[in-house]
Every structure is written in structure tokens, then in C-alpha cells.
Amino acid sequence: MRLLHVHSGNLYGGVETLMVTLVREANHRPSLMSEFALCFDAQLAKELRSCGSQVYALGETRTRDPRSLRMARRRLRQVISEGRFDAVVTHMPWAQALFGRTVRASGVPLIFWMHDAASGHHWLEWWAALTQPQLVLCNTRYTASTLNRLYANVPAQVIAYPVALAPAGITAKKAEAVRRELDTSPGATVIIQASRMEAWKGHELHLQALGKLRDLSMWASWFAGGAQRPAERRYLAKLRQIAADLGIAERVRFLGHRSDVPLLLRAADIYCQPNQRPEPFGIAFIEAFAAGLPVVSVDLGSAREIIDESCGALVPAGDANALAEALRQLITNPRERSRLGSAGPAHAFNLCDPATQMTKIEEAIRGLPI
């Protein structure tokens, strides 16, 4: 089966991580091959090519530039006509809105991969809703619960992402080397967050909670994730100032973009990501579990499906005191930290084992109602 995935490609986050995983897993599953049509030649395109995937350039496309959109659609029609694809998958409302009708006109089955909850109010969602796909793939039950805001009576399946679990070969020695690189004491309890540098990911609440733990001397904090747009760079500067104002700047490391997140996770002790709004999936949660870390987040969205008391903790959204208390318990109680962390790898495997999830994706597409 040969799939063409259509996406913007200008940023890099969880959706893009999924796409790279699809390509890498296809090396073990030649029955489900993925190629990509991207509008922006950025980090995603580079990583996909490095994995051996075919990437078609549609050209930089902007909704405010009708000419760029016409050219991208023309290029997509050409790619589809020459490719003999079994289905085309649009990712996010942007790609569905701009290219869904082009795909349907080609006669190739259209799949919409729903990566986030639909509000029903955004203009891109209204535009995307004008073209119905033949199948919707939803990453969580939470996301699926909002599908009716876009489409009614469209077949849908909930399939968790395949997530590449912690790679072998990450030794204690390598983890210790990372701590030295980041000027972190071997005895410190490291709290890590690896996410996009966007406000809804909860960095501010995270810092506020850490500020309430100044009396504890045995913790350090790492924030992994690069600022990709001007607003994100301003946000990062704001976070640095907050850490300074709270008197914890010397214990907080802003690491920027890192290509070695699995190693960082293995070198850390606790994963914390207190989102401001519901997380639609949370690849970072799964990666943290796979690395043997307890996960602390907020009681919203998909976190309720992914995190339970066997391997982490959920606190009320926006409650810095509750978050600080949950972190305090884990920092001061290594035994509890170990108990929760030891359950993580099996939990990650049960939820997102790549081989199992790739089988589910393939079966869903093979059963596509045409």
C-alpha cells in the first residue's frame, strides 16, 4: 500500500515526529509505504529524506497568496496522477482545507488525520469541513469526541500514534555525560519538559511550581525545545525572565532544539508538562514512560487516557500549588519515583508499540469505504 501524506512542513513538533516514525517503521513493514508532499522545505523534509523517503515539494503556499495556492494544487495534481497512490492523507485542517478538494477530484481516496480537537469556530476548520474525507483517523478518544464539529457521518477510527520507544545503547555513562554537559550535579533530581516552545504547553505554570520548591536543594530543571517563530522567541525570553524573578534561574536550563531527546530523558528523573489547554495526544508522555520516568501533567484532554496512578500523576489545570506538591513528593521520595518510573516502559509499549499501531493503521486504510 502506497500513501501520500500532504502537510505544510514549516514547523516541527508531534505531528512531524509521527511522520518520521511512519517512514522508519516502514523499513520493517514494506506493505505500508509513505511518501510526502510538503509546502515548506524545512526540518521535516530534511529528516524524511534522511530516512530515505520521497518528498515532493509543492512550493511555499500561503492562504493570502492565491497564486501560490494555485501552483501548489497544480503540483499536487501532478504528483497524484504520476504516483498511483492507494490513498492520500491530509494532516491538520490547513492541509485538508487547501488540498482536500484537489485530492477528491483526483479520484484517489482521501483520509483526514485528525491530530487535534476541533473547536468548530476557526475559519480553517470551516474551510476544511467543505470537503468530506472517506475516513478520519483520530489519535485519541478526546480528539474523536470533537469530530462532529467538522464532519457528520464520516467513518472514523481512534488509533494511538506509533511511537519509537527508547533506543537501545543509551548507557548510564552516556546519561552521566549529558549531566556534565549541562552542568548538572550527579545527585540532582532532574525535572524535564520536552515540548514546543508555545505558551499552551504550560512552561509558565511549570516555572511557578518550581519557584515554590526553592527550599529544596536537590533538584534541577531542563526545558528542551527550540523557538521556531518570532512569537516563540519572545515567549522564551519571557520564560527566562520569570525564572530570574523567581530566583531559580541558576537551576533552570533552556536547552533549545535537541536531537537527542531520548538521551535527555534517560538522564532525567521526572517528566513534567502542565499544559494550559488539553493535550490532543502527547508523544512526549509516551517517550518519557519508555525512558522510565514518572510523568506529571494536568487533568485535561488525552492526559486522562495516557497517564494513570500506576506511572504518573495528574493535577488540576492551572494549579501551581498542586503541581508543586506533586513534584515535591517525587523529588523527596526516590522510592515512589522508582515505582512509578518502573511501570512506564510496559505502559508505553501497551499504548504505542510501533508494530502494533502500524498494523492498526494499515488495517483501517485497507478497510477504507470507497
> What 3-state class would DSSP assign to 35?
strand
* Res 92: pLDDT: 96
- 257-294 in b/e form (b: 16+ CB < 10 A) is eeeebbbbbbbbbbbbbbbbebbbbbbbbbbbbbbbbb
> What 3-state class would DSSP assign to 110?
strand
Give every residue of the chain whose pLDDT is below 70, as ranges: 168, 369-370
Residues 94, 220 within the same domain: no
Residues 6, 52 within the same domain: yes
* Res 89: pLDDT: 98
Residues 102, 186 within the same domain: no
Residues 145, 180 within the same domain: no
Q: Is there a domain that residue 275 lies in?
A: yes
Q: What share of the chain is helix, strand, coil (3-state, %, to 5)?
A: 45, 15, 35
Residues 240, 133 within the same domain: no
Q: Is there a domain that residue 362 lies in?
A: yes
Residues 187, 246 within the same domain: yes
Three cell numbers at 27?
523499513
Q: Which of 143, 151, 149, 58 is nearest to 111 (CA)?
A: 151
Residues 43, 116 within the same domain: yes
* Res 191: pLDDT: 98
Q: Side chain identity at 345, as an amino acid letter?
A: P
* Res 202: pLDDT: 97
* Res 370: pLDDT: 53
In this structure, the number of other CB atoms found within 10 A of the CB of residue 311 comes to 24
> What 3-state class would DSSP assign to 311?
coil
Can you give the residue range of the structural domain that contains 47? 2-162+353-366
In total, how many domains does the chain have? 2
Three cell numbers at 330?
517525587
Q: Side chain identity at 184, as an amino acid letter?
A: T
Q: Which residues contact 32 (CB under 8 A, 6 or more apart)?
A: 1, 3, 26, 358, 361, 362, 365
* Res 71: pLDDT: 98
Residues 119, 99 within the same domain: yes
Residues 194, 137 within the same domain: no
Residues 357, 340 within the same domain: no
pLDDT digits (tens, 9 = 90+) for 41-69: 999 999 999 999 999 999 999 999 999 99
Q: Is there a domain that residue 167 lies in?
A: no
Query: Domain holding 121: CATH number?
Result: 3.40.50.2000
Question: Whole-angstrom Cα distance, residue 100 to residue 77?
Answer: 11
Show the DSSP H helices in 212-255 as ranges. 230-245
Q: Which residues contact 88 (CB under 8 A, 6 or more apart)?
A: 3, 4, 5, 6, 80, 103, 106, 108, 109, 110, 111
Question: Whole-angstrom Cα distance, residue 9 to residue 2?
Answer: 20
Within 13 A of 61's CA, how many CA atoms are on the CB side?
23
* Res 299: pLDDT: 97
Residues 16, 72 within the same domain: yes
> H or E stretch including 36?
strand 33-38
Judging by beta carbons within 10 Å of its beta carbon (0-12, 13-18, 19+), is residue 104 exposed, middle or buried?
Answer: middle
Q: Is there a domain that residue 228 lies in?
A: yes
Q: What pTM value is reported for the model?
A: 0.91
* Res 109: pLDDT: 96
Residues 212, 344 within the same domain: yes
> In this structure, which long-range contacts are made by residues 225-230, counting pairs with CB atoms below 8 Å and at least 24 apart in sequence?
225/193, 225/194, 225/195, 225/196, 225/197, 225/201, 225/255, 225/256, 225/257, 225/258, 226/197, 226/256, 226/257, 227/197, 227/256, 228/11, 228/12, 228/196, 228/197, 229/11
* Res 167: pLDDT: 72
Q: Is there a domain that residue 255 lies in?
A: yes
